[in-house]
Structure 1
Amino acid sequence: MFSSLSKTLLRRPLFLPTTLRLISTATAASNRTSFAFSYLVNSCGLSPESALFVSNRVTFETSARPDAVVNVFESHGFSQSQISGIIRKWPPLILARPERTLLPKLKYLRSVGFSGSYLAQMITFAPCLLTRSLEKHLIPNFSRLRDFLGCDKSAVTAIRRSPRILLQGFEGTVDRVVKILRDSGVRESSIMWLVKCHFRKLMKSHDHLKKIVEKTKGMGFDDPSAAKFAVAMLAVLGMSESMWERKLDAYSRWGWSKDDAMSAFVKRPWCMTLSEEKISAVMGFFVKEMGLESSFLLRHPTLMSLSLEKRICPRCMVFKHLSSHGLMKTKFCLTTLLTISDKDFLVKFVTPHIGEAPELLDIYREKKHMAMGALVP
């Protein structure tokens, strides 16, 4: 009986072929995963953890397609770290068809103004842009944004600062925000500026944008069509109540009351967008170095927004030098000295006095170069 059973089993191996097939399939899959893992680590610079994550989602047995993808990115100026970041964020791109999926879109984006490092940065931030249809998504949505802002350059600036515009589409992003702002009475030029330069903040707060508009009106900005309303709205939108209080405290340390700070805010909304450190540094310079009362800045809050290192300090040092040497023949308003262009400043305050004070240009240059982290040649 045993002999008969043995022969039967030998003639009819009921489970062995299935088992072998499973083992063979598992081995092949393991080999593919192992090859992909090695390639991602050695050729793309991924960490072992990231390579394992990607190789569990895409597998390949040869390097032909991945090499072609990597070559496309490298030829467009992407660094290895950017390429590895793209693959980590969107694994299927490592197996994309360059001629069909990558090259037409990269060529179009470069043609409208995304070139060099800007293109690489945007794709690294949002690699799934390369999975969107060129004809049905990228071109029509870029075109709508360009038509709204007036030129390719402005559209590129807006997308660089907020890639979600191109990723999610004009209708799902810009259209929604613009409608709220228009209905609230914000002037068109201000809306265009907000979309171009600060859309990420607007999109982040889309759900309560109407409340932000109303809150801004209640802080002394009655006319939404005024140019400064958009800046005030950004200040309100970008700060929590606790941050707002900390900035009021920063001004109070230099003698301003809460009403003073709010009055300055209504005059020049930018003064409440400054960091606490910038508030303290500018106030300290005018009070300690220039010997002015803090009320001077309350009358001229525009000066708070100027660069301390690149403008206020260099120009004020020239002003002090001229005054101490009796070279200020004409009485000038300090605000004029600080707000005119660099060219006009040199013409009015430096060039006319070079003969009497040849060191004046060196003083100005030294402060300017120190601010830019460079040495005077």
Structure 2
Amino acid sequence: MFSSLSKTLLRRPLFSPTAFRLISTAASNPPSFAFSYLVNSCGLSPESALFVSNRVVFETSARPDAAINVLKSHGFSQSQISGIIRKWPRLILASPERTLLPKLKYLRSVGFSGSDLATMITCAPYVLRRSLEKHIIPNFGRLRDFLGGDKYAIVAIRRSPRILIQGFEATVDPIVKILRYNGVRESSIVWLVKCQSRTLMTSYNRLEEILEKTKGLGFDDPSMSKFAVAMLAVVGMSESTWERKLDAYGRWGWSRDDAMSAFVKSPWCLMLSEEKIMAVMGFFVKEMGFESSYIHGHPWLMSMSLEKRIRPRCLFFKHLSSHGLMKTKVGLSFLLTISEEDFLDKFVTPHLEEAPELLDIYREKKHMAMGTLVP
């Protein structure tokens, strides 16, 4: 046993190559000013500080202090600043007036909040390397015009900063052309770019294949809004994930054909987690007494929030029925799809005279379902 352990120790180096180099460097030469500054003032590890100090040289803290102070004044945390420096070492010597401030001020002016801006730049610091006038402003403008507003462009960039780094023509435009050519409706394309830009860009080389596979699943009309949702299911789920979702519905008596026909009616029903599928079906069938076949006929009900809508409304309606306050029959689909205002007008307000406590009961059931206290 001792012999085996000795051989293992002899084969395994005590230090990583980088750590050994750091120890050797520290033993033979005093650390550079830049190395010490990066460790002590920026919070970098010795390994990261060595990497950065091999790429930037400075002998005083004046320039790095100026760059770091600009980031701090715009809401960047110490850990975010450290992460940016690791990804883009030359940031620490960037000119506040020429490189940093104009771009940060512009991005704030179009609607990026402090936290959104800090998160986006931390993920993609190379945005700050691009020309403001020649690249950032025109590309943000193209995206804004396509999506219909600054706030929608910000949503897309938050999900994929690559749009702002590489530009609209290199990232969004090729995807839009393929989708349009295949007949996907314009509103769906806008929604996909706004909310799923990263997924689309990651899958760009397979986009034609994904479109064909989606059509083959029964979505033969790309101009329908649900086609875009079905595309995301095809992109985002592996074969094993599909099987697990089908199996989850199978536990409630659905055949594979049942699950796939429900998917064609409402693609969101197969994009839910297995936990949500089981929880929602369990509530409808076990607590409310519905047949699972009814849910198969109304699969869009599955995608609603169990805690915020399904449970409180169903339990409140059950309370009305048990106290003889419901004189007409109401379908589950209607009960759950009407707006909150219409729900209150139809099911709560008409009974307040004879049962003034109903509003409190509904609020209590809603807050209990959401796990919060009634204010």
- Is TM more than 0.5 here? yes
Counterpart check, 1:310 vs 2:341: no
Which string of whole-angstrom CA distances, capped at 9 and with x for unpartnered residues, describes residues 91-149 of structure 1?
11011001000001111111111122111110011011101111221111111111211
TM superposition shift of 1:58 = 1.8
Contact 1:314 1:363 in 2 (8 A): no
CA distance in 2, matches of 1:367, 1:141: 48
TM superposition shift of 1:369 = 2.8
Structure ID, larger Rg: 1
TM superposition shift of 1:73 = 0.7
CA distance in 2, matches of 1:330, 1:250: 34
2:240 pairs with 236, 239, 242, which one? 242
Match of 1:345 in 2: 343
CA distance in 2, matches of 1:363, 1:128: 54
Change (3 A) 1:373 1:68: farther
Match of 1:214 in 2: 212
Does the residue aligned with 2:168 lie in a helix, a strand or coil? Answer: coil
Match of 1:136 in 2: 134
Which string of whole-angstrom CA distances, capped at 9 and with x for unpartnered residues, describes residues 308-341 of structure 1?
0111011111011111111112221111111111
Which string of whole-angstrom CA distances, capped at 9 and with x for unpartnered residues, describes residues 133-169 of structure 1?
1122111111111121122121111111111111111
CA distance in 2, matches of 1:69, 1:344: 54
Which string of whole-angstrom CA distances, capped at 9 and with x for unpartnered residues, describes residues 290-322 of structure 1?
011111110111100000011101111101111
Contact 2:250 2:256 in 1 (8 A): yes
CA distance in 2, matches of 1:174, 1:42: 42
Which string of whole-angstrom CA distances, capped at 9 and with x for unpartnered residues, describes residues 18-48 of structure 1?
xxxxxxxx99x966x5322222222222233
Which string of whole-angstrom CA distances, capped at 9 and with x for unpartnered residues, describes residues 241-269 of structure 1?
11111111111010000111111111111
Identity %: 79
Counterpart check, 1:59 vs 2:57: yes
Change (3 A) 1:43 1:368: farther
CA distance in 2, matches of 1:61, 1:356: 81
Which string of whole-angstrom CA distances, capped at 9 and with x for unpartnered residues, describes residues 270-301 of structure 1?
11111111111100000110011111110111
Contact 2:313 2:336 in 1 (8 A): yes
Which string of whole-angstrom CA distances, capped at 9 and with x for unpartnered residues, describes residues 68-89 of structure 1?
1111011111111111111121
Contact 2:316 2:365 in 1 (8 A): no
Does the residue aligned with 1:173 lie in a helix, a strand or coil? Answer: helix
Q: TM-score normalised to the size of structure 1?
A: 0.89
TM superposition shift of 1:373 = 4.5
Q: TM-score normalised to the size of structure 2?
A: 0.89
Q: What letter matches 1:194 in structure 2?
A: L
Alignment of 1:166-181 (within 5 A): 166-181=164-179
Q: What letter matches 1:215 in structure 2?
A: K
TM superposition shift of 1:358 = 4.1
CA distance in 2, matches of 1:49, 1:296: 61
CA distance in 1, matches of 2:99, 2:230: 43
Contact 2:252 2:292 in 1 (8 A): yes
TM superposition shift of 1:228 = 1.2
Does the residue aligned with 2:85 lie in a helix, a strand or coil? Answer: helix
Match of 1:296 in 2: 294
1:39 pairs with 21, 37, 40, which one? 37
Does the residue aligned with 2:289 lie in a helix, a strand or coil? Answer: coil
Match of 1:184 in 2: 182
Change (3 A) 1:121 1:370: farther
Match of 1:13 in 2: none
**Which stretch shifts more, 366-375 or 77-86?**
366-375
Change (3 A) 1:338 1:106: same
Contact 1:35 1:60 in 2 (8 A): yes
Match of 1:90 in 2: 88
CA distance in 2, matches of 1:358, 1:47: 64
1:362 pairs with 360, 363, 366, which one? 360
1:72 pairs with 65, 70, 73, which one? 70
Equivalent residue pairs, number: 350
Does the residue aligned with 1:178 lie in a helix, a strand or coil? Answer: helix
TM superposition shift of 1:368 = 2.9
Q: What letter matches 2:71 in structure 1?
A: F
Match of 2:261 in 1: 263
Match of 1:19 in 2: none
Contact 1:317 1:363 in 2 (8 A): no
1:251 pairs with 249, 252, 262, which one? 249
TM superposition shift of 1:208 = 0.9
CA distance in 2, matches of 1:92, 1:372: 48
TM superposition shift of 1:355 = 3.9
Does the residue aligned with 1:332 lie in a helix, a strand or coil? Answer: coil
Q: What letter matches 1:227 in structure 2?
A: S
Contact 1:251 1:279 in 2 (8 A): yes
Q: What letter matches 2:209 in structure 1?
A: K
Which string of whole-angstrom CA distances, capped at 9 and with x for unpartnered residues, describes residues 175-222 of structure 1?
111111111111111111110111111111110100110111111111
Q: What letter matches 1:268 in structure 2?
A: S
Match of 1:22 in 2: none
Contact 2:64 2:93 in 1 (8 A): yes
